[in-house]
Amino acid sequence: MTKYLYLFRGGDKRMSEMSPEEQQKHMGEWTTWMNGLAEKGQLIDGLPLHGDGKQVSKNGTLVTDGPFAEGAELVGGYLMVKANSLDEATEMSKGCPMLQFDEGHIEIRQILDLQDY
């Protein structure tokens, strides 16, 4: 099986508008979805990301506060999964509760082994 990375973008605004009960219910849906992937041996790892960060550029001489992406483009978390193909990884992502939000989307990328690069 091949490894794939899901980068979760957007959806944070909608989460911030939810009541605590709605947030808890939504997070329960995430747990159910991720547990389903784990039971099938497809989940490798995944966690949300803190909103603050740093960006390093100019050969390491410039460090700035970041990230600078617009809210809908900001990476809010990741998941690493195993699938037989990009098409299968795409189908697996369709159960993600984030997709309930119109502004939420998932970028899916194959993780390459260094020897294949």
- Percentage, residues of the chain above pLDDT 90: 63
What's 50's domain CATH number? 3.30.70.1060
Per DSSP, the three-state class of 35 is: helix
Q: Provide the residue range defining the domain that includes 27.
A: 2-116
Q: Note the pLDDT of residue 14.
A: 79
pTM of the complete model: 0.87
Mind listing the pLDDT tens digit for each residue in 44-77?
A: 999 999 888 898 999 999 999 877 666 567 888 9
- Cα separation of 100 and 116, whole Å? 36
User: What is the count of structural domains for the chain?
Assistant: 1
- Cα separation of 53 and 73, whole Å? 15
- Among 42, 46, 33, smallest CA distance to 1 is for 42
Q: Given pLDDT bands bounded at 50, 70 and 90, which one contains residue 16?
A: confident
